[in-house]
Amino acid sequence: MTATYWQNRRALLAGWRRALLMRRWRLLAVLLPAVMLLTSCGIFQQSGTTASTDFLMQTLPDDWTPMTEPANVNGFQEISIDGDEADEYLLFFYYDSQDGATNGPIGGIIYDGQDDTAIYDPDTVIPMPMQPLAFFVPYRLLPDWTTGKGQGYLGDKSVNWEVTPEDQITGFEAELVVQGIGTNGATTRLSLFRWLGPKNGYGVTYFQGSYSITMPDWTAGQDQRINTVVTLEAFNDRSKLCNQTYWTRQGTSAQFFASPSNITFCLDAIPAQPTYPEAVVLAWLKDQNPEFALTPDAQAELLLVVPNPPEQIVSLDYPGTATVTGTGNTTKSTMTVESTIVQGGVQRVVKWQLREVMAAEGGGTTRWRIELAE
């Protein structure tokens, strides 16, 4: 290649760079007055005006249906959990619905106002001027599939939300608390969001309980931190049993430690007269009530096998139907329930033999009582 060739090539590349730079400056010259006009009209202002939220609403996908009730989720809501002075805009919406319906799961998104609009041209090494406005960056809450997310969605029927403020003394960061209401009217999903920075957006700690979720040490509206979460996952069973898990926050972090799951009644109360045999066994394991033993002698024998309520009830297995023997007045109905329990740190399998007692003994209907454990 000749020197003239390389000179021409360098000149051509330099011309391309100048042309590209001029196009960028022309575009800026066209857009800047328009952007400044929008700013003066309130479109990009961080004040929660109707104009600004109307503008954001126009950017939503067609298949998102914004929530309209209750009032605290109607349209864009102003929040602030990213540590700067400007508010963010929070929106809840239904998605995966048909034709604008509101029967899909509930998602959420936050539009965060940011002001770092410096443009840098690496070809010319010329910094572009700062812009006199803020711009909005959308950050998905859920659904999302980035690192640390992908767990699910915010709610089925509705949502409630509030912000727990930052506490510089204890080191707690501000969190957005979103309770998802299920079709049963109870909280069945809980999402705790924290600001991770402009690159990663909002991280989440997510809980799901198909029957319910409770926060025993937390009261809504009191600026309290959620430190304990209890989830109840319902079984597809006849005695309305749930798997219960306690989650405990680790220090000031967003991490929660899960206790071993434990079988319990979904209503978290022992029935006065459990109907099915496995429910009778569970009721006895929880408080060792002699009423659920067939006789006082049977109660004494049961206490020899299981002297104290177990630390954990891992499983309850049972047949669907009872075993019936005899006829007439000699008819006997029995069932065997097998339990796996943890007692004294040791996992054990205990088999329970139950017998159905007549209505006269059971108080108007037949009842199941435990006659043997081994």
Q: What tens-digit pLDDT sequence spans the chain (374 residues)?
A: 455 544 554 554 444 445 434 444 343 333 333 333 333 333 333 444 455 677 778 878 888 999 999 999 999 999 999 888 788 999 999 999 887 778 899 999 999 877 655 444 455 555 545 554 457 889 999 999 988 888 899 999 999 999 999 988 888 999 999 999 999 999 999 999 999 998 899 999 999 999 999 999 999 999 899 999 999 999 999 999 999 999 999 999 999 999 999 999 999 899 999 999 999 999 999 999 999 999 999 999 999 999 999 999 999 999 999 999 988 777 899 999 999 999 999 999 999 999 999 877 656 889 999 999 99
CA neighbours closer than 13 Å in the CB half-sphere of residue 300: 3
Residues 93/102, Cβ–Cβ less than 8 Å: no
Residues 355/365, Cβ–Cβ less than 8 Å: no
Q: Is 112 helix (H, G, I), strand (E, B) or coil?
A: strand
Residues 243/261, Cβ–Cβ less than 8 Å: yes
pTM above 0.75, yes or no: yes
Adjacent-strand bridge partners of 337: 352
CB atoms within 10 A of CB 283: 21
- Burial (0-12, 13-18, 19+ Cβ within 10 Å), 241: buried
Cα distance between residue 251 and residue 66, in whole Å: 36
Taking the chain, what is the end-to-end CA distance rounded to the nearest angstrom? 95
Q: Which of 337, 350, 336, 158 is nearest to 241 (CA)?
A: 337
Cα distance between residue 212 and residue 181, in whole Å: 9
**DSSP string covering 231-266:** EEEEPSSSS-EEEEEEEEE-TTSS-EEEPPPEEEET
The secondary structure element, H or E, covering residue 14 is: helix 3-41
For the chain, the maximum distance between any two Cα atoms, rounded to a whole number of angstroms, is 117
83 φ/ψ sector (left φ>0, alpha ψ -120 to 50, else beta)? left
